[in-house]
């Protein structure tokens, strides 16, 4: 049996713990789940039955704030499917905490459609005056399409892991453009021998890729700093 070590005492002053119940009894819902979380904010999706779905924002470290209602984002629509005469391979929808290019924090909704011939169309929304407003619309053409494994937003850029098997697709909301970043050597999204996870750095300076490679269960972690041309740096193996 392996004993989990206690946290160092010097961390006691900087760690805070908070808890809350998000079950049916808590918010009078049929089903409740976590959509996204960052720092002390948790975004909840709550199903009330009969097709009624609501979104709420909760701060476990500040329970006195209660549950803040968030309007449902307009990312379930398919009204622009006429753009994809060849058909749609995948429609990815996410709600994310993030910052725009000016460093203003907020809530963003992303709708990205992948055509079966490589066309990509994205719409980004943000909440202003208690309603969702379109922030940017971007389109591009990719040579290949793979499944989307994760989506994170850092410094006004939306990183889509798995946009293609060998690259990370990045949507820059400030320049209204797409670009790609090659994955670290040997990392492939969609390979059954690679379990790939994606996440933002705690200080919002970049994004991490963690890869667990079978059958030896070898873990490797890379960091990409936003705004640099250094690519990926191996930080742990």
CA angle (64 as vertex; 59, 66 as ends), nearest 5:
60
Last residue of a domain, one of 28, 46, 70: 70
Q: Are residues 90 and 169 in the same domain?
A: yes
Q: Are residues 41 and 135 in the same domain?
A: no
Distance CA 226, CA 154 (A): 8
176 is in which domain, residue-wise?
A: 81-236
Last residue of a domain, one of 11, 37, 70: 70
CA angle (53 as vertex; 50, 58 as ends), nearest 5:
145
Distances, alpha carbon 33 to alpha carbons 23, 29, 45, 54, in Å: 8, 10, 5, 11
Q: Are residues 98 and 202 in the same domain?
A: yes
Element (H, E) at 25: helix 24-27
pLDDT band at 25 (very low <50, low <70, confident <90, very high): very low
Q: Are residues 106 and 60 in the same domain?
A: no
Structure confidence by residue, pLDDT tens digits, 135-191: 999 988 887 766 677 888 888 899 988 767 788 889 999 899 999 888 888 777 766
What's the pLDDT score for residue 125?
A: 92
What's the pLDDT score for residue 18?
A: 57
Q: Are residues 64 and 85 in the same domain?
A: no
Q: Are residues 115 and 149 in the same domain?
A: yes
Q: Give residue for tokens 């004993």.
A: 3
SS3 category, 82: helix
Structure confidence by residue, pLDDT tens digits, 64-109: 887 888 888 887 665 556 666 667 778 888 888 877 766 667 889 9
As given in the structure block, the two tokens for residue 113 are 């459609």
pLDDT band at 24 (very low <50, low <70, confident <90, very high): very low
Q: Are residues 232 and 127 in the same domain?
A: yes
Q: How many domains does the chain have?
A: 2
Q: Are residues 181 and 220 in the same domain?
A: yes
Mean pLDDT of 3-14: 58
Residue 204 domain flag: yes
Residue 197 domain flag: yes
pLDDT band at 30 (very low <50, low <70, confident <90, very high): low
pTM: 0.76
Q: Are residues 25 and 140 in the same domain?
A: no
Sign of CA dihedral 59, 71, 50, 122: negative
Residue 222 domain flag: yes
Residue 169: name the closest of 179, 177, 184, 157 by CA.
179
What's the pLDDT score for residue 118?
A: 81
Residue 173 domain flag: yes
Q: Are residues 140 and 231 in the same domain?
A: yes
* Average pLDDT value over all residues in the chain: 76
Distance CA 166, CA 144 (A): 10
Q: Are residues 128 and 193 in the same domain?
A: yes
Residue 25 domain flag: yes
Residue 9 domain flag: no
Neighbouring residues of 106: CB distance < 8 A, sequence distance ≥ 6? 97, 98, 99, 100, 126, 127
Residue 11 domain flag: no
What's the pLDDT score for residue 168?
A: 87
Q: Are residues 175 and 231 in the same domain?
A: yes
Whether residue 215 is preceded by a cis peptide bond, meaning omega within 30 degrees of 0, is: yes
Residue 93 domain flag: yes
What's the pLDDT score for residue 97?
A: 82
What's the pLDDT score for residue 23?
A: 47
Structure confidence by residue, pLDDT tens digits, 199-232: 888 777 888 888 877 767 778 888 999 877 778 8
What's the pLDDT score for residue 160?
A: 87
């Amino acid at each position: 049996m392996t004993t989990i070590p206690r946290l160092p005492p010097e961390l006691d002053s900087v760690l805070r713990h908070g808890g809350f119940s998000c079950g049916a009894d808590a918010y009078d819902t049929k089903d409740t789940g976590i959509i996204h979380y960052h720092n002390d904010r948790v975004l909840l999706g709550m199903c009330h039955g009969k097709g009624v779905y609501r979104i709420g924002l909760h701060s476990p470290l500040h329970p006195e704030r209660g549950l803040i209602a968030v309007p449902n984002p307009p990312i379930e629509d398919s009204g622009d499917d006429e753009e994809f005469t060849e058909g749609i391979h995948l429609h990815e929808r996410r709600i994310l905490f993030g910052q725009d290019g000016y460093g203003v924090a907020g809530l963003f909704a992303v709708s990205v459609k992948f055509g079966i011939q490589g066309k990509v169309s994205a719409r980004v929304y943000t909440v202003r005056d208690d309603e969702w407003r379109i922030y940017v619309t971007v389109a591009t053409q990719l040579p290949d399409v793979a499944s989307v494994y994760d989506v994170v937003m850092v410094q006004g850029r939306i990183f889509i892991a798995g946009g293609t098997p060998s690259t990370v697709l990045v949507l820059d909301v400030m320049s209204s453009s797409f670009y790609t970043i090659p994955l670290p050597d040997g990392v492939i999204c969609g390979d059954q021998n690679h379990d790939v996870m994606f996440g933002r750095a705690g200080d919002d300076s970049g994004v991490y890729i963690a890869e667990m490679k079978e059958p030896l269960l070898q873990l490797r972690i890379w960091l990409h700093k936003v705004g640099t041309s250094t690519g990926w740096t191996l930080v742990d193996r």
